[in-house]
Amino acid sequence: MKFTIHTLAPLAALGLLLATVAPARAQVTEACPRLPGDSGLTWTERSSDAFVICRAVAEGGREVFGLYLAADSPFQPRRANREERGVINGQDIRWYSGEVATDPDKLVRETLLELDKDRVVHIWLHADSAQEMQQSMRLVEELRFEDTRFSSN
């Protein structure tokens, strides 16, 4: 096939379109809630028929927060670990302190949110400072779960 300006122009336009669409799709998945537009984060997603794990990662690959969507969660909040209050998806929540055994200086917060009778979301935050923790909490409080989907058998 002989390439001319007339055959290359549509290919160049298609390449430009794909280059602009692909980065936008990196943030939007079927199961993870939409991230705040100015967060600078993208989702990585792992799923099965029973659950979805979404990790919000910053440039460079650092996980800022994560969530586990399923019919039930292994996370069981303990009253003795109660910390800050917040609001996620229009619901009042309580953050609970946690720990990372391999990094005892890491600040950890977790919460459990009931989305409906068949879905819960366990959310966790890991931070190196109180300021970083507050920023992560603000981002999580902007999440909306109305459009999140996962299948269960």
Predicted confidence at residue 116, as pLDDT, reads 84
Predicted confidence at residue 145, as pLDDT, reads 84
Q: How confident is the model at residue 118 (pLDDT cuts 50, 70, 90)?
A: confident
Mind listing the pLDDT tens digit for each residue in 69-81? Answer: 999 999 999 999 9
CB atoms within 10 A of CB 109: 23
Look at residue 38 and give its three-state secondary structure. coil
Look at residue 9 and give its three-state secondary structure. helix
Average pLDDT, the chain: 81
Max CA distance (Å), the chain: 74
Burial 135-146, CB ≥16 within 10 A → b, else e: ebbebbeebebe
- Say yes or no to pLDDT of 17 above 60: no
State mean pLDDT over 71-95: 94
**Among 63, 67, 71, 108, which Cα is nearest to 89's?**
67
Predicted confidence at residue 20, as pLDDT, reads 36
Distance CA 149, CA 133 (A): 27
Mind listing the pLDDT tens digit for each residue in 101-110? Answer: 999 999 999 9
Cβ 95 vs Cβ 107: under 8 Å: no
- Say yes or no to pLDDT of 14 above 70: no
Looking at the chain, the whole-number percentage of residues with pLDDT higher than 90 is: 61
CB atoms within 10 A of CB 30: 12
Mind listing the pLDDT tens digit for each residue in 27-44? Answer: 444 689 999 888 899 999
Mind listing the pLDDT tens digit for each residue in 119-142? Answer: 999 999 999 999 999 999 999 999
Distance CA 54, CA 139 (A): 14
